[in-house]
Structure 1
Amino acid sequence: MKRYFSSYWIRSGFYSVLQRFSLTVFGLVNFIILTRVLSTAEMGTWALFLTVTSVFEATKSGLLKNAHVKYVSGTDDLRERISVASSSFMINALITLLFIIFIVFFSDWMSIKLHAGKELSATLYWFIPGLICMVFFSHFEATQQSHLDFKGVLLGYIVRQGLFFGFLGFHFFIGRPFTLSNLATYLSISILAGSVVLYVYSKKYIKHYFRPDKASVKKIFGYGGYIFGSGVMSNIFSNVDQVMTAAFISNSAVAFYSTASKINGLVDIPSYAAADIIFPKISKASSDKDSGDKVKYLYERMVGILLSFTLPAAIFIIIFPKFLITIIAGAKYVEAAPILQLYMITGLMRPMQNQAANLLNSIGKPSLCFVINTGSLFVNLVISYICLKQFGFYGAAIATLIAGGIGFIIWYFVMKKEIELKLSNIVKYVFATYKDIYVNALNLYREKGLQFWH
């Protein structure tokens, strides 16, 4: 086992995939409980709350985490590491403060526009302590990853998700009802606990000096500015279906889209875990003499590996959508089956697009990524508006598939120009992955003294 974990790819891959898996599985189990306790209207409001807060955190992370990881891992100068980390924390806190001000002054207006009454704004108010805790949680997470250490991140997320699950499970099994405000409070407490765990594992990398400077701030915005903007566009793009469904159809309709999104998230686990692992490697490879071939190989190989996992899962879900929805959310959400099927078809195109965006950021071309994501968002908004008007309830899901197909074509030609991408290589790596899995499984049986053939 030590021999396998001596590899960066195996070690970081294990922790990162497990972290993503635990995040999604806990989220799914929590979702199963909530669908059996809350009404569809309350589920719709909770889904909108998660959309608003996750878009904020994801876009903030796009600005800070990649720059933090790149500049701390790329230097041995202790003063520069302290300066970058301090500047990153300061920007993190200031952006969070701005978001809290937005909640105080504009959340009531937003809640009404999304047909959520005042429940959405009230839930956001109760989550303000959680937003403050997220400043520390995300900073410690970036600190861990900038030192190529993923173990503490895994444990921090497990504690955060496990504690929230514990709160929900307690209410569920004793039959005590809870409000959306209760959920926001429990989520805040869980993030605080996760931050403490992350600090314990990160303190060996933290020098406990706060020395931000203008040079580091400029460096972070210079590198992360486009990534931040790109992240804003990308995350809004990913949630346009739920937001526009709330605005054009109803708050309750969002619950059905949220159901499909939760199941869809299981298929995306490898893709997002791969982004955390491959980013430092591509950043280093792009600075080598033969960077072109290395970056091309890393991209094609990673997309091939991701598709080898995504393909069978997507096919199964497309064939049995009602079965999965009934198990996870209950029979009252089976209307989400066509939405889930359309999401799964779109999901087969996501590994290439997600890794392409990550690659452009890694090789120092975040401005190109920003332009593509901005254009994609505009196209998605237009298509979503047209489809919601024409098809009603399922319009946003149809729009997601159409916009995803257009995005896939755009990203293909961009990658063909940037790294001379060949789809045939990706297909080759898909089959190579299946072969590797078979060979490694066979070897594992032999190492344990078991006979594969009797």
Structure 2
Amino acid sequence: MKKYLSSYWIRSAFFSILQRFSVTLFGLINFIVLIRFSLSKEQMGTWSLFLAITTIFETTKSGLLKNAHIRYVSTSDVSDEKTTIASSSLLINASISILFIGLIIFFSGSVSTLLHTGADLGTTLLWFIPGLVCMVFFSHMEAIQQSHLDFKGVFAGYFVRQIVFFTLILGTALLRIPFALPWLALYQSFSIALGTIVITLYSRKYLIGRFNPSKLWIKKIFNYGGYIFGSGLLGNIFASVDQFMVATFKLSNAWVANYSAAAKLNQVVDIPSYAAAEVLFPKVSKASIDEGKEKVRYLYEKMVGILMAFTIPTAIFVIIFPKFVILLIAGKNYMEAAPILQMYMITGLLRPMQNQGANLLNSIGKARLCFIINAISLGGNLVINYICLSNLGFYGSAVGTMITCLLGAICWYFIIKRQIGAVLPTMARHVAEYYKLFFTYAKGFLSPQPSGK
């Protein structure tokens, strides 16, 4: 076992996938507790919008800082330079968070009105400000861990965050204490604070104890991460645009709850894809510099093949049995979400190729191209969603998102083919190889073993 865990790929993939799985699993369990025992459909819609807003901010900020931090630190051999990079990244991190907190203080009420949530959404955002402060340090330690190709502390930090939040909401439900959305925001803040302590303890060996940012490195991070920041912002808005448009069109955030239920289940399929992106990014960054396009193409095709081997059977099962999955997870009050889930799963069949494509362009220094693609995709999604919502009603946003994602996947394929020469037949061959390997192991495991004499 020790031999296998000494491999970068096995070790990193193990902790990264474990981290992603634990986040999604606890997110799903928390979702079940809230949706079945605690929150009304209207409250669930408001909570979903809160999570969408805060997730867009945090993942977008991470796109600006973490990728640049990892790329520059992992390719530098100078200790003082690594410290300067980390310090510059922390300064930018804190500055962006302060700006976002200011926007919440002054405009959260207007956002609540626009999305038809009364005062609940604005109040919940205000109560989450302590969590945003803690996230500055949590995300910084996460970048430090991954820039040193270490994923154990990231898993530990996220696991503590999830288990603490789960314990708090389960305790509240068991004690039959009435749920209030602002209290959920405080629970989130407290869990992030404990997770920050844990990930910091794991990161101590990488901390020098000096804070020496420089204008040069701040500029470099912005130059490298600026397009990634914009691309991440557009991509994250794209991921939640259906919920925001439904909230705006239907004048009731109860409709959002159905979309949120489908989206939460859809995230399960994406666990391997996002975990793989974190493992692959530092390796592709180094390969693009040291080994050239052929190595980058090999890594991309191999990873997409692995991911599609996981996602295809899962997506097909959900497409065939959407009502069973919705009933099992969300309950009979959310059966309207079944067709939405089906449409999301259709796009999930090709999503690994698209997700890894965006990650690859960023890692080989083509962030501007990735930004342009995401900008066009978001613009097309908004237009198509508007048309579909206006003509098809409630399910229009899901239809629009499915159409946009399928068209986007086709475009991404030809762009990646042009950039690195990756082709679909090679990816399909990798998928077939992994299925063959799986069935070989399964056959050997299930075959009767000869009895010893």
TM-score range normalised by the length of the shorter chain: over 0.9
Partner of 1:329: 330
- Matched residues in 1 for 2:118 and 2:450: separation? 63
Matched, 1:119 2:120: yes
Partner of 1:42: 43
SS of the equivalent of 2:290 reads coil
SS of the equivalent of 1:226 reads helix
Which 5+ residue runs of structure 1 have no aligned equivalent? none
Partner of 2:130: 129
Alpha-carbon distance, 1:6 to partner: 1.4
RMSD: 1.4
Equivalent AA in structure 2 for residue 19 of structure 1: Q
Contact 1:140-1:199 at 8 Å conserved across structures = yes
- Matched residues in 2 for 1:274 and 1:23: separation? 15
Post-superposition CA distance 1:27-81 (Å, at most 9, x none): 0000001012111100000000000000000100000000011111111111110
Equivalent AA in structure 1 for residue 7 of structure 2: S
Equivalent AA in structure 1 for residue 213 of structure 2: P
Alignment of 1:413-424 (within 5 A): 413-424=414-425
Partner of 1:70: 71
Partner of 2:246: 245
SS of the equivalent of 2:77 reads coil
Alpha-carbon distance, 1:436 to partner: 2.8
Equivalent residues, number? 449
Equivalent AA in structure 1 for residue 280 of structure 2: I
Contact 1:86-1:211 at 8 Å conserved across structures = yes
Post-superposition CA distance 1:88-133 (Å, at most 9, x none): 0000000000000100111100110001111000000000000000
Contact 1:67-1:220 at 8 Å conserved across structures = yes
Alpha-carbon distance, 1:413 to partner: 1.2
Alpha-carbon distance, 1:442 to partner: 6.6
SS of the equivalent of 1:204 reads helix
- Matched residues in 2 for 1:27 and 1:216: separation? 36
Partner of 2:187: 186
Partner of 2:280: 278
Partner of 1:260: 262
Runs of 4+ in 1 over 6 A off after TM superposition: none
Sequence identity (%): 59
- Matched residues in 1 for 2:68 and 2:413: separation? 26
Alpha-carbon distance, 1:453 to partner: 7.5
Alpha-carbon distance, 1:451 to partner: 5.0
Moved more, 295-304 or 21-30: 295-304
Matched, 1:213 2:214: yes
Equivalent AA in structure 2 for residue 164 of structure 1: F
- Matched residues in 2 for 1:160 and 1:178: separation? 20
Partner of 2:16: 16
TM-score of the superposed pair, with normalisation by structure 2: 0.97
Matched, 1:222 2:223: yes
1:439–1:182 CA distance, 2 compared to 1 (3 A): same
Alpha-carbon distance, 1:422 to partner: 1.1
Alpha-carbon distance, 1:419 to partner: 1.2
- Matched residues in 2 for 1:221 and 1:49: separation? 28
- Matched residues in 1 for 2:228 and 2:49: separation? 24
Contact 1:156-1:194 at 8 Å conserved across structures = yes
- Matched residues in 2 for 1:57 and 1:452: separation? 52
Post-superposition CA distance 1:411-442 (Å, at most 9, x none): 11101111112110011000111223344567
Partner of 1:346: 347
- Matched residues in 2 for 1:138 and 1:74: separation? 20
Contact 1:20-1:272 at 8 Å conserved across structures = yes
- Matched residues in 1 for 2:423 and 2:188: separation? 44
Alpha-carbon distance, 1:275 to partner: 0.2
SS of the equivalent of 1:155 reads helix
Equivalent AA in structure 1 for residue 418 of structure 2: K
- Matched residues in 1 for 2:247 and 2:112: separation? 10
Contact 1:442-1:452 at 8 Å conserved across structures = no
